[in-house]
Amino acid sequence: MTAYAPPLRDMQFVLHDVLGVAKYSNLPGFADATPDVVDAILEEGGKLASNVLHPLNQSGDREGCVRHEDGSVTTPKGFKQAYEQYREGGWQGLGADPAYGGQGLPTVIAVAVTEMFSAANMAFGMYPGLARGAADAIHAHGTDAQKQTYLPKIIAGDWGGTMNLTEPHCGTDLGLLRSKAVAQGDGSYKISGQKIFISAGEHDLTENIIHLVLARIEGSPEGVKGISLFIVPKFFVKEDGSLGERNSVSCGKIEEKMGIHANSTCVMNYDEATGYLLGEKDKGLRAMFTMMNEARLGVGMQGLAISEVSYQNGASYAKERLQGRALTGPKDPEKPADPIIVHPDVRRMLLEQKATIEGARAWMYWSALQADFHHKSADEAERQRADDYLGLMTPALKAYLTEKGYWHATNAQQVLGGHGYIEEWGMEQFVRDARIALIYEGANGIQALDLVGRKLPKDGGRALQAFFADIDQFIADNKGVEELKPFLDGLASARNDVADATGWLMQNAFSNPDNAGAGSMDFLHLFSLLCLSFSWAMLAKSAVEKQKEDASDPFYHNKLATGKFFLARILPETKSHLAKLKTGAEPLMMLAAEAF
């Protein structure tokens, strides 16, 4: 019953007008990404998303994945054919290295396409998403032989990939990990142990699956310093690249869960499975972080994507559903009642979604562009700065956008009233699907600690200082533009609140680390609101400029009106986060554990 229409105009506005992707044609891959090419890619990707993937979203949820007695797993009806279309369309290799068969297009374009696939069908999008993450980790840490063996097949979409961290007794605290690896003397290892909750661990979409597995080599230190990363293929790969025998890794069970039923969440058993070290011995967590950072951005994108699809369905219902009359008198007197879009509270729910989504899209794409600068710029200072930005933004994008994704899905459900709670309308599925994104890839509380404890103080606070300098420059460059004044004032105020919060943490976290822990989520929200207000200032600047070229196009007027809603009704939350942060640890730590 739900529908998904790719928000092409909004995506194009961000890519072409706000970020001006075409102006970076000096970077590898960008010269091929002319606006026409980008628009054609978005349109084609949009068709696959709305015509093929979205129609399978609800049926996939109802049917779920099935594990058979031999441990094989069947995905829901239609998934295999849809994946074939995805693979044949070359979507998996869009942003990948041409040396291994990729198209080498900018990451920012690949990320925009991912938005549509995740929005259309989150569970489907996870299969290729995890494979891309595995390919990135092999690309960054693999030997030449490993890259030649695995990358072309993963990039072509022929093989899948997974990340295997979690064990029954260890999720957040990977130092407790028990899976073990025993060297065989021929460069390979025998991997034994059980991994749980492994997304896309077993399925029928690809002919092989390349598992990346964390395990401790016999004799390595306890804790996080003794963890290594291994490539464990489901089927061995022969010298000529063809598939050999089955490795001793199997799916013992698939979990029954709240949402994303069409993605197989597997218990994976490694019974002396053969694995190959990826990267350095005992440095596995660092190598896995390559995959996790990409995956964290991907999960942040899931939050944005589920916000978009929920919003679209809530908004179209609100324009059709007739209930009550507008407080200011009938708006549609010919009909028995007005559509519920006339009611301010319904508009509040929808606009909170719309304003966050549009700001978040600019924030996400801007961050993806930093990934391009980081990987492709010839200028070392620019590469380092982009890396700093990515490090700073990743935990905030992951945690803020997933929290909002869940909240937006419930608010869109609320717009449908009781119908939102009924299965056939499809809104409750968005709520169920959205929920996991707050938990996996590092639960959101852990992202907040990462931001406050690692990313803020890293290199003497260099990343945040550079971000402040960019914001100050933007304000200085645009302060003569009257229409932008409210956006610049809002941005300056949020910037000062973040500076205030950072100063408070610097003064109070050393004496009592719980002060940092207690304020970490408020800081993450405050910082995210600063990022959104910067995005909105950039969106407004482009809208004002474009409006001068074409005053009749309502798109720019609507953009500015939505931005003003953000300033009036969302940005003030910074004050409450700042106030809560400054109360420190005491209100949280006063109670003894027994009192809970």
Ligand X SMILES: Cc1cc2nc3c(=O)[nH]c(=O)nc-3n(C[C@H](O)[C@H](O)[C@H](O)COP(=O)(O)OP(=O)(O)OC[C@H]3O[C@@H](n4cnc5c(N)ncnc54)[C@H](O)[C@@H]3O)c2cc1C
**Which among 20-28, 45-53, 163-171, 241-249 is the span making contact with ligand X, rule CB under 6 A?**
163-171
**Which among 74-82, 89-97, 191-199, 388-396 is the span making contact with ligand X, rule CB under 6 A?**
191-199
- H-state helical runs in 142-241: 144-155
Q: Which of 308, 352, 428, 441 is catalytic?
A: 441
By CB under 6 A, residue 402 contacts ligand X: no
Q: Which is nearer to ligand X, 224 or 481 (CB)?
A: 224
Candidate list 18, 48, 116, 165; residue touching ligand X; CB under 6 A: 165
**Which among 192-200, 349-357, 400-408, 574-582 is the span making contact with ligand X, rule CB under 6 A?**
192-200
Determine contact, residues 481/544, Cβ cutoff 8 Å: yes
Taking the complex as a whole, the smallest distance from the CB of residue 446 to ligand X amounts, in Å, to 5
By CB under 6 A, residue 28 contacts ligand X: no
**Which among 14-22, 159-167, 336-344, 568-576 is the span making contact with ligand X, rule CB under 6 A?**
159-167
By CB under 6 A, residue 51 contacts ligand X: no
Taking the complex as a whole, the smallest distance from the CB of residue 259 to ligand X amounts, in Å, to 8
By CB under 6 A, residue 166 contacts ligand X: yes
Taking the complex as a whole, the smallest distance from the CB of residue 172 to ligand X amounts, in Å, to 3
HSE-CB of 596 using CA atoms within 13 angstroms? 6
Q: Which is nearer to ligand X, 303 or 314 (CB)?
A: 303
Q: Is 244 exposed, middle or buried (0-12, 13-18, 19+ CB in 10 A)?
A: exposed
By CB under 6 A, residue 179 contacts ligand X: no
Taking the complex as a whole, the smallest distance from the CB of residue 198 to ligand X amounts, in Å, to 5
Q: How far apart are CA 346 and CA 311, in angstroms?
A: 12
Active site residue 272: no
# chain residues binding ligand X, by CB under 6 A = 19
By CB under 6 A, residue 542 contacts ligand X: no
Q: How far apart are CA 277 and CA 217, in angstroms?
A: 10
Taking the complex as a whole, the smallest distance from the CB of residue 449 to ligand X amounts, in Å, to 6
Alpha-carbon torsion 495, 497, 499, 505, what sign? negative
Nearest residue to 290 via CA among 177, 192, 387, 377: 387
Q: How far apart are CA 540 and CA 483, in angstroms?
A: 8
Q: How far apart are CA 416 and CA 161, in angstroms?
A: 38
Taking the complex as a whole, the smallest distance from the CB of residue 442 to ligand X amounts, in Å, to 6
The type of residue at 50 is S
Taking the complex as a whole, the smallest distance from the CB of residue 246 to ligand X amounts, in Å, to 21
Which residue in the shown chain puts its C-beta closest to ligand X? Answer: 171
Determine contact, residues 444/521, Cβ cutoff 8 Å: yes
Q: Which is nearer to ligand X, 171 or 175 (CB)?
A: 171
By CB under 6 A, residue 443 contacts ligand X: yes
Any idea what DSSP says for residue 440? S
Q: Which secondary structure element, helix H or strand E, spans residue 141, and what is its range? A: helix 122-141
Q: What are phi and psi of 74, to 5 degrees?
A: -105, 130
Q: Which is nearer to ligand X, 226 or 490 (CB)?
A: 226
Q: How far apart are CA 11 and CA 325, in angstroms?
A: 35
Q: How far apart are CA 414 and CA 408, in angstroms?
A: 9
Q: Which is nearer to ligand X, 364 or 399 (CB)?
A: 399
By CB under 6 A, residue 445 contacts ligand X: yes
Q: What are phi and psi of 451, to 5 degrees?
A: -65, -50
By CB under 6 A, residue 119 contacts ligand X: no
Q: Which is nearer to ligand X, 312 or 444 (CB)?
A: 444
Q: Which secondary structure element, helix H or strand E, spans residue 66, and what is its range? A: strand 66-67
By CB under 6 A, residue 198 contacts ligand X: yes
164: which strand partners? 213
By CB under 6 A, residue 164 contacts ligand X: yes
**Which among 160-168, 313-321, 388-396, 559-567 is the span making contact with ligand X, rule CB under 6 A?**
160-168
HSE-CB of 203 using CA atoms within 13 angstroms? 35
Residue 552, classed as helix, strand or coil, is: coil
The number of beta carbons lying within 10 Å of the beta carbon of residue 408 is 30
Taking the complex as a whole, the smallest distance from the CB of residue 4 to ligand X amounts, in Å, to 22
Taking every pair of Cα atoms in the chain, the longest distance, rounded to a whole number of angstroms, is 83
Taking the complex as a whole, the smallest distance from the CB of residue 340 to ligand X amounts, in Å, to 34
Residue given tokens 């011995």 in the structure block: 281
Residue 221, classed as helix, strand or coil, is: coil
**Which among 196-204, 274-282, 361-369, 563-571 is the span making contact with ligand X, rule CB under 6 A?**
196-204
Q: Of 236-265, which residues contact ligand X (CB under 6 A)?
A: 257, 265
Interaction pattern, residues 421-440, with ligand X; x per rule: CB under 6 A: ---------------x--xx
Q: Which is nearer to ligand X, 199 or 293 (CB)?
A: 199
**Which among 195-203, 285-293, 464-472, 566-574 is the span making contact with ligand X, rule CB under 6 A?**
195-203
Q: How far apart are CA 434 and CA 194, in angstroms?
A: 27
Candidate list 56, 94, 163, 539; residue touching ligand X; CB under 6 A: 163
**DSSP, residue by residue, 3-34:** -----HHHHHIIIIIIS-GGGGTTSTTTTT--
The type of residue at 249 is V
Nearest residue to 474 via CA among 543, 534, 563: 534
Candidate list 30, 150, 197, 534; residue touching ligand X; CB under 6 A: 197
Q: Which secondary structure element, helix H or strand E, spans residue 391, and what is its range? A: helix 380-415
Candidate list 446, 471, 501, 531; residue touching ligand X; CB under 6 A: 446
Any idea what DSSP says for residue 442? S
Q: Which is nearer to ligand X, 208 or 353 (CB)?
A: 208
Taking the complex as a whole, the smallest distance from the CB of residue 290 to ligand X amounts, in Å, to 15
Contact residues: ligand X, CB under 6 A: 163-166, 171-172, 197-199, 257, 265, 436, 439-440, 442-443, 445-446, 449
Which residues are annotated as catalytic? 441
